[in-house]
Structure 1
C-alpha cells in the first residue's frame, strides 16, 4: 500500500528522488534536526497534547515508517523523545488525515520538482473541529539537498499565540524494510 501522501498526489513522479523514496515504502531513516518551541502555557499544553519533542539543536532523529493494510504510522524519535502519528488517505476527500494522540489534522500535499509542500486544512482536538480563525498556520516542506539527502522543515504557529513548534533537518535511509529478507 502506497504512502498516504503519494496517494493524494496527481503525479508523484515529479518529486525529487529522496522524497519519493521516503514516501514509497516502509523504512527507517536517521539524521539530525533543530527544534524550536513557542512559549506560553497554552502553547506548551498544545504541544503536550500532540506529544511533540522538547527544543534542541543538532538533535539526533530517527524516523520509522510502517504500513499495515490501509494504516500507516510514523514513529519519530527525537533524541529519545518519541512522537507517533497514524496516517490514512481519504479517497473521498483527497486529503491525508494524520492523528497525534487526541489531535487530528487534515492535510493536503502539493508536489513540485522542488519537493513536497503540505498544507493544513482542518484540526480537531478530542474530535471537536477548531474554528477557522483558530486554525494553526503551517509551513511544511520536504525536498532533496545537494548531497541527495531528504530535507524537511515543519513549522506551525497559531493566531494570537505565535510559534507552536518548528523542526527542520535532514534524513538518510538506514535501510528499507521492503529490502529486508
Structure 2
C-alpha cells in the first residue's frame, strides 16, 4: 500500500489495514471462483482495496458486503474492457494480412478504446445514449430527439456535454 493518497488519515489507514488483513483472502477466493483465474483475481482484489483507499471512507459497517459491492463494480468494468478487447481483436481478424496493424498500434488503439469507454461511462445515461445515437448510429439531431422523446435543444445540450468530455479525454 505504497500508493497512499497524501490526505489519507492515520485512522483510515488503520481501518484499511484491518479490512485488508481480515478480508483479503475471502475477497480473493470469491473473485478467483468467479473468474477461474488466480492472476486476474489478485489484480481485481488489489484494485478493490485501492479504490476503497482512494474513496477516503472512514467507517464500514458490513465489511464483506461493502467489499463485495466495490469488487462487483470493478468486475463489471473488467468484463466490459475484456468484451471491448475481444470485439477489437475479432474486427482485426477480419482484415487482410497487409492491413493488420502492428502490436504497438494495437496496444495504442486498445488503450484509446478503454479511455473512450471510461469517458462514456462517466456520462449520464441519456447523454451517453444521445452521443452514441449520433456518433455510432449516425442519426441526425432531430431524429435523436424523436427517438428519445426529448427536445432538439436537449439533444444539442447533451451533445455539447459529451463533446466536452471528449475534449477532456484528449488533454
Does the pair score TM above 0.5? no
Greater RCO, CA 8 A, separation 6+: 1
**Superposition TM-score, scaled by structure 2 size:** 0.26
Q: Which structure dedicates a bigger proportion of its chain to strand?
A: 1
Instruction: State the structure with more CA Rg.
Output: 2
**Superposition TM-score, scaled by structure 1 size:** 0.25
